[in-house]
Amino acid sequence: MTPAILTARRAGIRFDVLEYGHDPAATSYGLEAAEKLQLPPEQVFKTLVIQLDGSELLVALVPVQHQLDLKALARQAGGKKAQMADAALVERTTGYVLGGVSPLGQKKPLRTLIDSSASDFAQIYVSAGRRGLELQLAPADLAACCRAVFVPLAR
Protein backbone atom coordinates (compact mmCIF):
# COMPACT_ATOMS: atom_id res chain seq x y z
CA MET A 1 0.00 0.00 0.00
CA THR A 2 1.45 3.36 -1.04
CA PRO A 3 0.29 6.90 -0.22
CA ALA A 4 -0.88 7.19 -3.84
CA ILE A 5 -3.15 4.14 -3.52
CA LEU A 6 -4.46 5.36 -0.16
CA THR A 7 -5.24 8.77 -1.66
CA ALA A 8 -7.14 7.22 -4.57
CA ARG A 9 -9.03 4.93 -2.18
CA ARG A 10 -9.96 7.82 0.15
CA ALA A 11 -11.16 9.87 -2.83
CA GLY A 12 -13.56 7.07 -3.72
CA ILE A 13 -12.50 6.92 -7.36
CA ARG A 14 -12.34 3.78 -9.47
CA PHE A 15 -8.82 2.53 -10.11
CA ASP A 16 -6.78 -0.59 -10.62
CA VAL A 17 -3.23 -1.33 -9.51
CA LEU A 18 -0.91 -3.03 -11.97
CA GLU A 19 2.40 -4.50 -10.90
CA TYR A 20 5.45 -5.58 -12.87
CA GLY A 21 8.99 -6.65 -12.09
CA HIS A 22 11.08 -3.48 -12.23
CA ASP A 23 14.52 -3.86 -13.79
CA PRO A 24 17.06 -1.71 -11.88
CA ALA A 25 18.99 -1.27 -15.15
CA ALA A 26 16.01 0.35 -16.90
CA THR A 27 16.82 3.83 -18.19
CA SER A 28 13.23 5.02 -18.66
CA TYR A 29 10.83 4.02 -15.89
CA GLY A 30 7.73 5.04 -17.83
CA LEU A 31 8.67 3.22 -21.02
CA GLU A 32 9.58 0.18 -18.94
CA ALA A 33 6.08 0.21 -17.41
CA ALA A 34 4.43 0.47 -20.84
CA GLU A 35 6.54 -2.35 -22.25
CA LYS A 36 6.28 -4.75 -19.31
CA LEU A 37 2.54 -4.20 -18.86
CA GLN A 38 1.97 -4.18 -22.64
CA LEU A 39 0.23 -0.81 -22.50
CA PRO A 40 -0.01 1.81 -25.24
CA PRO A 41 2.77 4.32 -24.36
CA GLU A 42 0.50 7.26 -25.22
CA GLN A 43 -1.68 6.25 -22.24
CA VAL A 44 1.18 5.86 -19.74
CA PHE A 45 2.09 9.20 -18.16
CA LYS A 46 5.33 10.08 -16.42
CA THR A 47 5.29 12.34 -13.37
CA LEU A 48 7.86 15.12 -13.62
CA VAL A 49 8.57 17.66 -10.89
CA ILE A 50 9.48 21.08 -12.23
CA GLN A 51 10.82 24.23 -10.64
CA LEU A 52 9.07 27.34 -11.94
CA ASP A 53 10.93 30.66 -11.87
CA GLY A 54 13.49 29.25 -9.46
CA SER A 55 11.06 28.73 -6.60
CA GLU A 56 7.67 27.03 -7.03
CA LEU A 57 7.65 23.27 -7.51
CA LEU A 58 4.90 21.80 -9.63
CA VAL A 59 4.03 18.50 -11.27
CA ALA A 60 3.72 17.92 -15.00
CA LEU A 61 2.32 14.71 -16.45
CA VAL A 62 3.18 13.81 -20.04
CA PRO A 63 3.00 10.59 -22.05
CA VAL A 64 6.14 8.49 -21.59
CA GLN A 65 7.09 8.56 -25.28
CA HIS A 66 7.09 12.37 -25.35
CA GLN A 67 9.23 15.05 -23.79
CA LEU A 68 7.97 17.88 -21.63
CA ASP A 69 8.02 21.26 -23.39
CA LEU A 70 9.43 23.43 -20.58
CA LYS A 71 8.56 26.69 -22.38
CA ALA A 72 4.94 25.59 -22.81
CA LEU A 73 4.82 24.53 -19.17
CA ALA A 74 6.16 27.90 -17.97
CA ARG A 75 3.59 29.71 -20.12
CA GLN A 76 0.71 27.49 -18.96
CA ALA A 77 1.75 27.85 -15.30
CA GLY A 78 2.02 31.62 -15.51
CA GLY A 79 5.79 31.77 -15.16
CA LYS A 80 8.78 32.75 -17.23
CA LYS A 81 11.21 29.85 -16.83
CA ALA A 82 10.76 26.18 -15.97
CA GLN A 83 13.45 23.60 -15.31
CA MET A 84 13.60 20.09 -13.97
CA ALA A 85 13.78 20.11 -10.16
CA ASP A 86 16.78 18.69 -8.33
CA ALA A 87 16.35 14.96 -7.61
CA ALA A 88 16.99 15.28 -3.87
CA LEU A 89 14.47 18.11 -3.63
CA VAL A 90 11.90 16.05 -5.55
CA GLU A 91 12.30 13.12 -3.18
CA ARG A 92 12.15 15.29 -0.04
CA THR A 93 9.09 17.19 -1.24
CA THR A 94 7.05 14.31 -2.64
CA GLY A 95 8.16 11.49 -0.35
CA TYR A 96 8.77 9.28 -3.39
CA VAL A 97 11.97 8.07 -5.07
CA LEU A 98 12.61 8.99 -8.70
CA GLY A 99 10.93 6.52 -11.00
CA GLY A 100 8.18 6.05 -8.44
CA VAL A 101 6.92 9.62 -8.07
CA SER A 102 3.14 9.63 -8.22
CA PRO A 103 0.90 12.65 -8.75
CA LEU A 104 -1.18 11.31 -5.84
CA GLY A 105 -0.29 11.08 -2.16
CA GLN A 106 2.68 13.43 -2.12
CA LYS A 107 3.99 14.64 1.25
CA LYS A 108 3.44 18.21 0.05
CA PRO A 109 0.75 18.32 -2.65
CA LEU A 110 2.01 20.31 -5.62
CA ARG A 111 0.14 22.21 -8.31
CA THR A 112 -0.38 19.72 -11.14
CA LEU A 113 -0.72 20.09 -14.90
CA ILE A 114 -1.64 17.14 -17.12
CA ASP A 115 -0.94 17.06 -20.84
CA SER A 116 -4.22 17.58 -22.66
CA SER A 117 -3.76 14.32 -24.61
CA ALA A 118 -4.85 12.47 -21.46
CA SER A 119 -8.41 13.64 -22.15
CA ASP A 120 -8.45 11.50 -25.30
CA PHE A 121 -8.58 8.30 -23.24
CA ALA A 122 -11.09 6.65 -20.91
CA GLN A 123 -8.18 5.35 -18.79
CA ILE A 124 -4.57 6.41 -18.30
CA TYR A 125 -1.73 4.99 -16.23
CA VAL A 126 0.45 6.82 -13.70
CA SER A 127 2.91 5.74 -11.07
CA ALA A 128 1.31 4.27 -7.98
CA GLY A 129 4.18 5.50 -5.82
CA ARG A 130 6.76 2.78 -6.27
CA ARG A 131 8.88 1.53 -9.14
CA GLY A 132 7.06 -1.41 -10.67
CA LEU A 133 3.59 -0.22 -9.65
CA GLU A 134 1.08 1.68 -11.82
CA LEU A 135 -2.41 3.04 -11.27
CA GLN A 136 -5.03 2.76 -14.00
CA LEU A 137 -7.70 5.44 -13.66
CA ALA A 138 -9.85 7.92 -15.55
CA PRO A 139 -8.07 11.18 -16.39
CA ALA A 140 -10.93 13.22 -14.94
CA ASP A 141 -10.68 11.32 -11.64
CA LEU A 142 -6.93 11.93 -11.50
CA ALA A 143 -7.44 15.62 -12.21
CA ALA A 144 -10.09 15.87 -9.49
CA CYS A 145 -7.81 14.18 -6.93
CA CYS A 146 -4.86 16.44 -7.80
CA ARG A 147 -6.86 19.58 -8.55
CA ALA A 148 -5.07 19.45 -11.87
CA VAL A 149 -5.73 21.16 -15.18
CA PHE A 150 -5.35 19.75 -18.69
CA VAL A 151 -3.05 21.82 -20.90
CA PRO A 152 -0.75 21.14 -23.88
CA LEU A 153 2.66 20.19 -22.42
CA ALA A 154 4.20 17.48 -24.60
CA ARG A 155 6.37 17.76 -27.65
Looking from the CA of 13 toward its CB, the CA atoms found within 13 Å total: 23
Q: What are phi and psi of 120, to 5 degrees?
A: -75, -10
| CA–CA separation, 139 and 125 (whole Å) | 9
The model's pTM: 0.95
Instruction: Tell me if 45 sits within 8 A of 114, measured CB to CB.
Output: yes
Q: What are phi and psi of 27, to 5 degrees?
A: -95, -20
- What's the pLDDT score for residue 26? 86
What pLDDT, in 10s, does the model give residues 42-56? 999 999 999 999 999
Looking from the CA of 145 toward its CB, the CA atoms found within 13 Å total: 25
- What's the pLDDT score for residue 129? 96
Distance of CA 86 to the CA centre of its chain: 16
What pLDDT, in 10s, does the model give residues 114-125? 999 999 999 999
| Structural domains present in the chain | 3-151 (3.90.960.10)
| CA–CA separation, 55 and 87 (whole Å) | 15
What pLDDT, in 10s, does the model give residues 132-153? 999 999 999 999 999 999 999 9
